[in-house]
């Protein structure tokens, strides 16, 4: 399978990438690691006529400790997220979730920012950063703005990113010793999750993100509200699907996904407590 | 990287090349493959696996699923295993690529190849180049893996003969031989 023909531009900086995407408009797409976009192009589900390669913008690949959060450059690869000592100390849930993405070869190429910008509800890291209360920093022709993860995912593969904006940084609050767990239920190695759960808990606070439980990554805020009011893990987990809109596919019916979500949220919270 | 495109003239970042494919964009890339630097004209949509197989004639890298699932096309990009059916040749411009053909030196096999041979780590052989390249990358990152770590580390490579047991055994044997040789 070979993608439809396109022209290739390589950007040396975020500003240059924005200028190039502005020049070509809707027919252009950013190319980072390419592990979401290229498979879609090979299947001709996407046929951009221009690719703006941002994969060489090395100053967007970093993991830095800031006062209350960790700042991660959008082009940081999954493998670097997985193996980061800074994240292991301050945001271990994200490092662990990154280790579940695809396989080693995929993690050598795919990037955190690419996964988030692609906004696939079946991907592990959008839901994980959502659970962690991350903020995404985006840059456009008129400067930068911050978008809370909970406001970012609009519908299937649709985000609040404007076509001429580029995601540059992911800011993830430090977990400050919170308990955490990541659950990924699939039937074959390296598959997407049929349902996945990213959860953390610290005292009365918690965050629960659901993978593949709707057209966007889902924040199970009802679960966290119940826990804050003193509900048991088992009772709170019953609310796992309250904020979700699971859909049926070849792998699972709506009922099965709903059941999985409750079981996996319960397991994740038990392991986080 | 030099660049030409009939549809998008006026690219200030690059020189133009004349090319025979009217209407299609052609870029010139410079890639070091198995220690030899090649300057090649490619369409931007050319996949790295097709570039090494069809333009360079290095057919040891196989195409299996063509959907970044099976790992048969695994080669090394800057020393790390990648699935070359999901990398564009233009993304390898200026980079270092190593394929299965790079491993044996003067007819002497790489220790991983020897380990696969001695442990019957292959049956039909189709997945083997990808398995060997993924296994070397795995040991580069984790020189002394457990059996579970080998199985997890090779999850991106499928063997449809289902010969996984001896593949895992081969990788562990190679790791063990390397650590013995290193005096660890």
Domain boundaries, chain A: 7-53, 59-173, 179-272
Give Cα A235 to chain centroid, integer Å.
27
Whether the pTM exceeds 0.80: the reply is yes
Q: Is B163:B121 a contact under the CB 8 Å cutoff?
A: yes
Q: Which helix (H) or strand (E) holds B32?
A: strand B26-33
Residue in A108, A111, A188, A192 to test binding to B, most B beta-carbons within 10 Å: A108
- Reported CATH class of domain A59-173: alpha beta
> For position B2, what pLDDT does the model report?
59
- Taking the Cβ of residue B71 and every Cβ of chain A, the question of whether any pair is shorter than 8 Å is answered with yes
Chain B residues whose beta carbon lies within 8 Å of the beta carbon of residue A192:
none
- Taking the Cβ of residue B24 and every Cβ of chain A, the question of whether any pair is shorter than 8 Å is answered with yes
Measured CA to CA, the distance from residue B35 to residue B49 in angstroms comes to 17
pLDDT surpasses 70 at B184: no
* pLDDT tens-digit readout, A147-196: 999 999 999 999 999 999 999 999 999 999 999 999 999 998 888 999 99
- Taking the Cβ of residue A3 and every Cβ of chain B, the question of whether any pair is shorter than 8 Å is answered with yes
Mean pLDDT of the B36-46 span: 97
pLDDT surpasses 70 at B6: no
For residue B170, give both structure tokens: 């081969």
Q: Is B159 helix (H, G, I), strand (E, B) or coil?
A: coil
Which residue of A lies nearest to B69 if distances are taken between CA atoms? A190
Domains (ranges, CATH) in chain B? Answer: 2-102 (3.10.20.30), 111-181 (1.10.150.120)
CB contact under 8 A, A49 and B25: no
- Taking the Cβ of residue A19 and every Cβ of chain B, the question of whether any pair is shorter than 8 Å is answered with no
Please state, in angstroms and as integers, the Cα–Cα distance from residue A144 to each residue in A25, A41, A238, following that order: 19, 29, 40
Q: Is B39:B56 a contact under the CB 8 Å cutoff?
A: no
Give Cα B105 to chain centroid, integer Å.
17
> For position B5, what pLDDT does the model report?
56
pLDDT surpasses 70 at B115: yes
Residue in B88, B134, B141, B152 to test binding to A, most A beta-carbons within 10 Å: B88
pLDDT surpasses 80 at B7: no
Burial class (CB in 10 A: 0-12, 13-18, 19+), A265: buried
* pLDDT tens-digit readout, A60-106: 999 999 999 999 999 999 999 999 999 999 999 999 999 999 999 99
Residues A179-272: name the CATH superfamily.
CO dehydrogenase flavoprotein, C-terminal domain (3.30.390.50)
Chain A: give the shortest CA distance to residue B154, in Å: 8
> For position B18, what pLDDT does the model report?
39
- What's the half-sphere exposure (Cβ side, CA atoms, 13 Å) at A39? 12
Nearest by CB to A39, which of B8, B44, B86?
Answer: B86
Q: Give domain A7-53's CATH number out of 3.40.1160.10, 3.30.565.10, 3.40.50.170, 3.30.43.10.
A: 3.30.43.10
User: Which B residues in the span 149-178 are in contact with A, Cβ-Cβ below 8 Å?
Assistant: 153, 155-157
| B4: confidence class by pLDDT, cuts 50, 70, 90 | low
């Amino acid at each position: 399978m070979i993608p439809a023909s396109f022209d290739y531009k390589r950007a040396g900086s975020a500003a240059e990438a924005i200028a190039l995407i502005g020049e070509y408009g809707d027919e252009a797409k950013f190319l980072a690691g390419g592990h979401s976009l290229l498979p879609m192009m090979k299947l001709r589900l996407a046929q951009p006529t221009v690719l703006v390669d941002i994969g060489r913008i090395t100053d967007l690949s970093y993991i830095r400790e800031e006062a209350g959060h960790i700042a991660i450059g959008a082009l940081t690869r999954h493998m670097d997220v997985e193996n980061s000592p800074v994240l292991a100390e301050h945001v271990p849930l994200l490092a662990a979730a990154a280790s579940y993405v695809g396989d080693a070869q995929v993690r050598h190429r795919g990037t955190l920012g690419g996964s988030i910008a692609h906004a696939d509800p079946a991907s592990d890291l959008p839901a994980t950063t959502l659970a962690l209360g991350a903020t995404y920093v985006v840059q456009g022709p008129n400067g930068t703005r911050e978008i809370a993860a909970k406001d970012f995912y609009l519908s299937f593969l649709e985000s609040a990113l404007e076509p001429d904006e580029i995601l540059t940084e992911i800011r993830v609050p430090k977990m400050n010793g919170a308990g955490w767990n990541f659950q990924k239920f699939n039937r074959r190695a390296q598959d997407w999750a049929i349902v996945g759960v990213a959860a953390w808990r610290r005292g009365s606070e918690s965050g629960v993100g659901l993978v593949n439980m709707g057209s966007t990554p889902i924040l199970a805020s009802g679960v966290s509200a119940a826990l804050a009011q003193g509900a048991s893990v088992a009772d709170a987990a019953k609310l796992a699907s309250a904020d979700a809109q699971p859909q049926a596919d070849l792998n699972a019916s709506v009922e099965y996904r709903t059941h999985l979500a409750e079981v996996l949220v319960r397991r994740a919270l038990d392991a986080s407590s | 990287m030099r660049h030409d495109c009939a549809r998008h003239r006026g690219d200030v970042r690059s020189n133009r090349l004349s090319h025979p494919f009217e209407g299609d964009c052609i870029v010139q890339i410079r890639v070091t493959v198995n220690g030899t630097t090649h300057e090649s004209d490619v369409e931007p949509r050319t996949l790295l696996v097709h570039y090494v197989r069809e333009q360079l004639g290095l057919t040891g890298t196989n195409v299996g699923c063509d959907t970044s699932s099976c790992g048969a096309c695994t080669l090394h990009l800057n020393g790390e295993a990648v699935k070359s059916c999901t990398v564009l040749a233009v993304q390898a411009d200026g980079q270092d690529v190593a394929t299965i053909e790079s491993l044996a030196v003067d007819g002497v096999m790489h220790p991983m190849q020897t380990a696969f041979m001695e442990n019957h780590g292959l049956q039909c052989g189709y997945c083997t180049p990808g398995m060997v390249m993924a296994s070397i990358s795995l040991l580069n990152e984790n020189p002394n893996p457990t059996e579970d770590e080998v199985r997890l580390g090779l999850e991106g490579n499928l063997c449809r003969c289902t010969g996984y047991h001896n593949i895992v055994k081969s990788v562990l044997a190679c790791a063990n031989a390397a650590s013995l040789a290193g005096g660890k």
